[in-house]
Structure 1
Amino acid sequence: MPVTESIGRRQCIPIVYTRGTHYEVGYDVGRACSGLIHGFLNQCKPLNDEFLPAYETAEGRKAYDDTLDCLKANYPQYVRELEGTADGAGVPFYKLFLLHMDDMVPTTKEVKRQESNGCSSICLNQEGEEILGHTEDALEDTLNNYYFVSAHIISDKPQGRWKATEEKFTSLCYAGHLPGYTMSYNHHGLIFSINTISVTDVRAGYTPRHFITRALLSAQNFVEAEQILRDPGCGAGNGCSVNMTFLNQEGDRLFHNVEMAPADGREGSLLNILTASPGENLFHCNRYLRIEIPEENEVMVTSSIRRMDVFQKYPKPKTKQDVINMLGDQSDTDWPVFRDDPNDHVRTIAVGIFDCVEKTWSLYSDNPKKSAPLVVLPLVLKK
């Protein structure tokens, strides 16, 4: 039976531990989470109402083929990983790939794209309190349709354009999606969260943001992370922001917010980086704060402005509990930070709290102000 909204908000997060090649890891995830993946594909409105009809058009198929060709040239290992997930789950690869293209799939003017509220992220950099907190907001179809993937990938030869030979990470994943586009950490000490941003000028044939953030899971330091996000010679086809820090960095704790916009030509993604030093904090939602570029989704922009307004009404946060209180805020009934109206098309499906001092990741499947974390994972780093 597919997992649907009618069963309510479940207090359950599956986790898959897997080791092997990219294809083998993808296959194991697909096999272990087949029921969730089938259920999600059956009920996913953007896929069924927008992406699949577009795929049947000449324009849509060209966008699909051009984007897949780009990825086979630059990130063939992640294409194989997604093929493994499709094979393991027994679902068509093209359906999963369309989900990863997302708003890069051209749709007709008659089709109104589902609008998402998006996510809220807070980076707290105070004495003795170093926290990255994040609400994972998504279309209601995604509620209960997610899981952890904890993977160790060792390749016999360098893979893709960045020549990675080993990846070890844990990531929260939407059903059928590659790791990397929600909340994640890797064994080099990189932790990060993602805020989707909807731009007007998306570019098929370039790198989907979901594949760029998948590649980010291989980064060993901030220099590599910036290079991966810039994706020189190609660049992102759509937009997002990334909130990150490296636990193993020397010197003071630094948090970074990287706004990433689509590439101009083949120069690479447009990036703007803001860094929070000790005593400073960062807040980000689902609009550009520093890059000036037309944005497509007015609802997402309005929601982001209202959530940021709520954050600004709080005293300067200084503790983990302050972050939890802010991410669980529902004082703005029209645009709450924690979104949980059963009649809404967008829900907050999970909240994550990375504690850089304790080296833990707490995951809440309900409002963190009103519930205990469902799981607290240790951040296991490479020695």
Structure 2
Amino acid sequence: MPAMESIGRRQCIPIIYTRGTHYEVGFDVGRTFANIIRSFVNRSKSLNEDFLPAYETVEGRRAYEDTLDNLKKNFPQYVRELEGTADGSNVPFHKLFLLHMDNIILSAVKKEVIHPQPVGCSSICVNQNDQQLLGHTEDALDDTLNHFYFVSAHIISDKPQGKWKVREEKFTSLCYAGHLPGYTMSYNHHGLVFSINTLSAKYLKPGKTPRHFITRALLSAENFAGATEILRDRGSGAADGCSINMTFLNQEGDRMFHNAEMGPADKTDESQLNVLTISPGENTMHCNKYLRLKIEETNEEMTRSSVCRMTTFKSYRSPKNKQDIINMLGDHTNKDYPVFRDGPGDFVKTIAVGIFDCRAKTWTLYSDNPKENDPLVVLPLDIKT
């Protein structure tokens, strides 16, 4: 693996606008961001020193094939989309698919993770009468810094696709290089706005649906009932876990936010799921630890960091507006486990901060600490009326 010269934190989030079939959209993403994708694949320690060696074992290859077969049955359109990205970027498909399997393949070979794992991502929902906001820090391994982009896609299929029979998707999502849209901050044209916090369940399930594919499917959700159905994924269930913070801008009645904790399907064919609803006048916060589902966790650093970040949040008054969210998400008073991570020795970095304003229908993005920097861009939310 070639050594990569450090280029510092770039004040840049590239974006692609693309329309076509799933494969065509994936291909355009791969072709447009080929250099960024290849750079990330080459420098990813987790991929090259953890996932690829596991893939070369009998047990790892079986887990890979079982998981891929399940996805070809239930979500063939997203497999084609990822194939398009692989072809467009000239990166072998199996390398991109392994990034989506993540630690699932390591659980199949009963191998401990060699390299540090992500320990970040913090989300805050504010549901007040005049302020309806979802703020999020996107934290990832330092390999990921400068290796992400926006995908704004419109996909129209000639026939219903996958287990949820979807014909049209239109969304904008912040994407890690080489990854399908949906696993960071995103919104779709039905008015679904959401952010993701990684959760580290100890017992993962090869052959089930990786969280990256479940959150990709979430980009097609038309309403809250449809979103929960996608997260439950009946007939298979999740292979691993995450937390989803979401609301629908087009919903009737009072604004409701929801935090869904999703866990691996355990001795059943659907995800474990617990959904908390945040009513008007309420706020909520979530990091990278299960708060309601009783699931054994791994990654002690993630748990410790989550506890410390929640303690930091509780040291503030309950957030009422955008500035409160900026102050909390930009906090670095805890030197060991700050909310905003950008220390020279940090193996995890906060690569971006986003704030969705549900009343103004905007998405404000920062590529650096929001307490100390202006937004890089404010995007309007393109929602069906």
Q: TM-score, normalised by structure 1?
A: 0.98
Number of matched pairs:
382
Q: CA deviation at 1:113?
A: 4.3
- Listed one character per residue, the Cα deviations across residues 256-290 of structure 1 (whole Å, up to 9, x for unaligned) are 00000001233300000101101100100001000
Q: Secondary structure at the match of 2:18?
A: strand
User: Structure 1 pair 111/315, CA: closer, same or farther in 2 (3 Å)?
Assistant: closer
Corresponding residue of 1:105: 105
Corresponding residue of 1:355: 357
User: Structure 1 pair 86/183, CA: closer, same or farther in 2 (3 Å)?
Assistant: same
In structure 2, how many angstroms separate the alpha carbons of the residues matched to 1:71 and 1:6? 37
In structure 1, how many angstroms separate the alpha carbons of the residues matched to 2:7 and 2:274? 42
Corresponding residue of 1:195: 197
Kindly indicate whether the alpha-carbon contact (under 8 Å) linking 1:152 and 1:169 is maintained by their aligned counterparts in 2: yes
1:234-313 maps to which residues of 2 (within 5 A)? Answer: 234-313=236-315
- Report the residue type matching 2:28 in the other structure: D
Matched, 1:14 2:25: no
Kindly indicate whether the alpha-carbon contact (under 8 Å) linking 1:15 and 1:150 is maintained by their aligned counterparts in 2: yes
User: Structure 1 pair 188/111, CA: closer, same or farther in 2 (3 Å)?
Assistant: closer
Q: Secondary structure at the match of 2:67?
A: helix
Q: CA deviation at 1:105?
A: 1.1
In structure 2, how many angstroms separate the alpha carbons of the residues matched to 1:116 and 1:137? 7
Matched, 1:150 2:152: yes
Matched, 1:124 2:126: yes
In structure 1, how many angstroms separate the alpha carbons of the residues matched to 2:325 and 2:159? 42
In structure 1, how many angstroms separate the alpha carbons of the residues matched to 2:95 and 2:342? 28
Corresponding residue of 1:40: 40
Kindly indicate whether the alpha-carbon contact (under 8 Å) linking 2:331 and 2:338 is maintained by their aligned counterparts in 1: yes
Q: CA deviation at 1:174?
A: 0.3
Kindly indicate whether the alpha-carbon contact (under 8 Å) linking 2:194 and 2:245 is maintained by their aligned counterparts in 1: yes
Matched, 1:86 2:86: yes
Corresponding residue of 1:342: 344
1:56-67 maps to which residues of 2 (within 5 A)? Answer: 56-67=56-67
Corresponding residue of 2:50: 50
Q: Which runs of 4+ in 1 moved over 3 A?
A: 2-5, 107-111
Q: CA deviation at 1:5?
A: 6.7
Matched, 1:115 2:117: yes
In structure 1, how many angstroms separate the alpha carbons of the residues matched to 2:26 and 2:326? 33
- Structure 1 residues without counterparts, runs of 5 or longer: none
In structure 1, how many angstroms separate the alpha carbons of the residues matched to 2:243 and 2:235? 20
- Report the residue type matching 2:73 in the other structure: A
Kindly indicate whether the alpha-carbon contact (under 8 Å) linking 1:142 and 1:349 is maintained by their aligned counterparts in 2: yes
- Report the residue type matching 1:87 in the other structure: D
Q: CA deviation at 1:109?
A: 3.9
Percent identical residues: 69
Matched, 1:221 2:247: no
- Listed one character per residue, the Cα deviations across residues 179-226 of structure 1 (whole Å, up to 9, x for unaligned) are 000000000000000000011100000000000000000000000000
Q: CA deviation at 1:108?
A: 5.2
- Report the residue type matching 1:200 in the other structure: K
Q: Secondary structure at the match of 2:222?
A: coil
Kindly indicate whether the alpha-carbon contact (under 8 Å) linking 1:5 and 1:140 is maintained by their aligned counterparts in 2: no
Kindly indicate whether the alpha-carbon contact (under 8 Å) linking 1:354 and 1:360 is maintained by their aligned counterparts in 2: yes
Q: CA deviation at 1:135?
A: 0.2
Kindly indicate whether the alpha-carbon contact (under 8 Å) linking 1:254 and 1:278 is maintained by their aligned counterparts in 2: yes
What's the Cα RMSD here?
Answer: 1.2
User: Structure 1 pair 306/77, CA: closer, same or farther in 2 (3 Å)?
Assistant: same
Kindly indicate whether the alpha-carbon contact (under 8 Å) linking 1:96 and 1:176 is maintained by their aligned counterparts in 2: yes
Corresponding residue of 2:234: 232
- Structure 2 residues without counterparts, runs of 5 or longer: none
